[in-house]
C-alpha cells in the first residue's frame, strides 16, 4: 500500500493517550512506542479498504471471526493501533486477538465498557492540538530568535548560537578546505566530526550569489544530505559559494527542519556576495515575509511580472525550488516563483501550485495553492496544479459572481461552502474529502446533507453538481461572497 498522505497535525504517542485521565485504557500487546495520526471506528470484517494508515482503529469485534487475518489486514493498511471495546459482544479481549497483535507487531488497547469511542477520538484530537500548538510556538520563538541574531553586530556566530541552542546540538560553517570558521554548541566527537566533513563533501556547492533557502537532494548533486553516526543525527546544507552549514543533534523534533530552514535562509543572505538590485529587492521581500508581513504589502517589491505560489508539506528539509522567497513559519511551506519557473515533484513532499498571478493577486493565488495541496494530499499525488475552467470563461465574470452569491447565500459563512467545494472537486468521495479537510468522514456527510437541505437541491444530480461547482468557482474568483472558509 502506498504511504498515506501526511497528516495535518503531529502524531500522538499512544502512551500519552493511555495516560489520559478518565479513559481507563490499557495496552495488552504490541510495541509501546506506537504513534496515532487519527482515529477511525469500523465493524467491518475487513477494514483494509477504509484505512489510510496511521489510525487507531476502534472496534467491538462484531464481525471478528479470524483474529490473525483481521490484524494482518490492519497492518497491511498501515494502521497504528487497535482499540478493542469490551462488551457488548465480548466480555474480555479474545486471547487469540492478543496473540495475533503480538505476532504482527500491532499495538492492542483494551477499551473498558464505560468508555465511549467518541471520548477516545476527542482525547486524540485534543492531544494533537496541544502537540501542534507546542510545535508552532517553538518554531515561532526560534524564528524570532534567529531573526534577532541576524541583526546583531556579529550576525553569523549569533545565528549559529541560536540554531545550536534551539536544536539542542552543534552547528557550524564548514569551508571547502574542511576548516570550521564558525561553530556553536557542544563540540562533536572526533568520529562525528569526520562524518560531518564527509557529509559536507556530498552537498553541491551553490554558485556565489545564488540563494537556496531550503536545499534538498536534487539529482546527482544534492544541496543537502543527512546521516546518523553513533546515534547523532547529522545534516549538511549547501550555502552560497563553497560554504556548508552542518548540524549535529542527539534527536530530531517535528519542527527541526523548519527551524533549520530559517537559519539557512538567513545564513545564505549573510554569506552571499553582493547582490544586484533585483536580487536585493527580492531578499528584502523574503525577510519581510519571514517577519510576518502580508503578501499584499510585499507585492510591489516583486515587480510587474506574474508569479506562481507553491504550497509544500512533507518530511525533512523543504524542497529547493530555486527561489529565495519562502515562508517557513507554518507546517506548510510557501514559495513564490517566477511564473515561467517550473516546480518539480520532490520525494517525501506534496506540492500544490497556483495559476500565474500578478503581484496584486497573490492572496487569491495563495488560496489556489492551498486548495491544490489539499487535493494532492487527498488523492496521494506528489504535485497538483490549480486548474482553470475553460467554460467559465464564456460567461461574464461579474454576472456569474452575482448569480453565484445568490445561489450560495443559504450556506452562510461557515465551513459549508468550503466542504461542498472540496467534496465536489473529489467526485463526492467522503474519505478523500475528510482527509483534505482534516475532519471525520461523518462530519463530511453531515455537512453535505446540510448543504443539500439549505440549497433544496439533489446533490446526486450531475446537473446540480455542475451548476454548484461553477458557482463556487465564480464566487472564489470574485470574492464578494465571504463564505469560502474551509
pLDDT given at position 208: 41
pLDDT given at position 211: 45
The β-bridge relationship of strands 383-385 and 349-353 is parallel
pLDDT given at position 485: 36
- Whether the pTM exceeds 0.75: the reply is no
Q: What Rg do the C-alpha atoms of the chain give, in angstroms?
A: 25
Q: b vs e for 302-313, b when ≥16 Cβ sit within 10 Å of the residue's Cβ? A: beeebbbbbbbb
Instruction: Count the alpha carbons within 13 Å of 43 in the hemisphere toward its beta carbon.
Output: 8
Contact 486, 419 (CB under 8 A): yes
Distance CA 22, CA 82 (A): 19
pLDDT given at position 389: 54
pLDDT given at position 299: 60
Distance CA 408, CA 471 (A): 8
Q: Measured in whole angstroms, how far is the alpha carbon of residue 66 from the centre of its chain?
A: 37
Cell 479537510 locates to: 437
Q: Tens digit of pLDDT per residue, the chain (486 long)?
A: 334 444 445 788 999 999 998 999 999 999 989 999 889 999 999 999 888 889 999 999 999 999 999 999 999 999 999 999 998 899 999 999 999 999 999 999 999 999 999 999 999 988 988 888 888 888 888 888 888 888 887 888 899 999 999 999 999 998 888 888 889 999 889 888 888 888 888 875 544 444 444 444 444 456 678 888 888 999 888 887 778 899 999 987 777 878 888 888 888 888 765 444 455 555 555 555 555 566 556 666 655 567 888 898 887 667 767 666 777 666 788 888 876 677 778 778 888 998 888 777 778 888 888 888 888 887 788 888 887 655 555 556 667 777 888 888 888 888 898 899 888 888 888 888 888 888 898 889 999 999 999 988 888 888 888 888 888 877 776 655 333 333
Q: How many secondary structure helices (H) and strands (E) does the chain include?
A: 15, 17
Q: Going from the N-terminus, what domains does the chain have, and what CATH number goes with each?
A: 12-126 (3.40.1390.20), 153-274 (3.30.450.30), 302-387 (no CATH), 391-477 (1.10.10.2840)
Phi, psi of 207, rounded to the nearest 5 degrees: -60, 145
Amino acid at each position: 500500500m502506498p504511504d498515506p498522505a501526511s497528516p495535518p497535525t503531529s502524531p500522538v504517542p499512544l502512551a500519552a493517550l493511555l495516560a489520559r485521565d478518565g479513559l481507563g485504557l490499557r495496552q495488552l500487546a504490541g510495541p509501546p512506542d506506537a504513534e496515532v495520526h487519527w482515529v477511525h471506528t469500523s465493524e467491518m470484517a475487513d477494514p483494509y479498504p477504509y484505512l489510510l494508515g496511521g489510525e487507531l482503529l476502534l472496534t467491538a469485534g462484531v464481525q471478528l471471526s479470524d483474529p490473525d487475518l483481521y490484524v494482518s489486514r490492519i497492518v497491511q493498511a498501515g494502521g497504528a493501533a487497535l482499540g478493542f471495546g469490551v462488551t457488548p459482544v465480548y466480555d474480555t479481549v479474545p486471547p487469540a486477538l492478543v496473540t495475533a497483535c503480538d505476532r504482527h507487531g500491532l499495538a492492542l488497547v483494551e477499551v473498558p465498557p464505560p468508555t465511549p469511542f467518541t471520548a477516545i477520538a476527542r482525547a486524540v484530537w485534543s492531544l494533537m492540538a496541544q502537540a501542534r500548538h507546542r510545535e508552532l510556538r517553538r518554531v515561532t520563538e526560534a524564528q524570532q530568535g534567529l531573526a534577532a541574531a541576524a541583526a546583531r553586530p556579529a550576525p553569523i556566530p549569533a545565528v549559529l548560537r541560536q540554531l545550536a541552542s534551539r536544536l539542542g546540538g552543534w552547528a557550524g560553517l564548514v569551508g571547502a578546505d574542511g576548516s570550521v570558521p564558525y561553530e556553536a554548541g557542544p563540540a562533536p566527537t572526533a568520529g562525528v566530526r569526520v562524518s560531518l566533513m564527509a557529509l559536507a563533501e556530498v552537498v553541491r556547492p551553490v554558485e556565489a550569489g545564488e540563494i537556496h533557502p531550503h536545499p534538498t537532494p536534487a539529482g546527482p548533486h544534492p544541496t543537502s544530505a543527512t546521516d546518523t553516526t553513533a546515534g547523532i543525527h547529522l545534516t549538511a546544507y549547501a550555502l552560497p559559494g563553497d560554504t556548508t552549514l552542518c548540524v549535529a543533534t542527539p534527536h530530531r523534533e517535528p519542527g527541526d527542519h523548519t527551524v533549520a530552514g530559517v537559519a539557512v535562509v538567513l545564513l545564505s543572505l549573510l554569506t552571499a556576495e553582493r547582490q544586484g538590485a533585483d536580487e536585493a529587492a527580492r531578499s528584502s521581500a523574503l525577510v519581510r515575509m519571514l517577519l510576518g508581513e502580508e503578501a499584499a504589502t510585499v507585492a510591489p517589491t516583486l515587480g510587474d511580472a506574474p508569479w506562481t505560489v507553491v504550497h509544500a508539506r512533507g518530511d525533512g528539509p523543504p524542497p529547493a525550488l530555486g527561489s529565495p522567497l519562502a515562508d517557513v513559519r507554518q507546517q506548510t511551506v510557501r514559495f513564490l516563483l517566477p511564473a515561467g519557473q517550473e516546480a518539480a515533484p520532490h520525494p517525501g513532499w506534496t506540492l500544490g501550485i497556483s495559476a500565474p498571478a500578478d503581484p496584486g493577486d497573490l492572496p487569491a493565488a495563495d488560496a489556489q495553492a492551498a486548495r491544490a495541496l489539499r487535493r494532492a494530499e487527498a488523492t496521494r499525488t506528489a504535485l497538483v496544479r490549480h486548474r482553470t475552467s475553460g467554460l467559465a470563461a464564456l460567461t461574464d465574470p461579474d454576472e456569474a459572481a452575482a448569480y453565484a452569491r445568490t445561489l450560495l447565500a443559504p450556506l452562510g459563512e461557515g465551513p459549508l461552502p468550503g466542504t461542498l467545494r472540496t467534496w465536489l472537486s473529489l467526485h463526492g468521495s467522503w474519505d478523500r474529502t475528510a482527509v483534505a479537510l482534516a475532519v471525520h468522514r461523518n462530519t463530511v456527510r453531515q455537512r453535505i446533507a446540510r448543504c443539500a437541505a439549505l440549497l433544496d437541491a439533489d446533490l446526486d444530480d450531475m446537473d446540480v453538481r455542475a451548476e454548484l461547482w461553477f458557482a463556487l468557482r465564480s464566487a472564489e474568483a470574485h470574492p464578494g461572497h465571504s463564505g469560502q472558509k474551509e
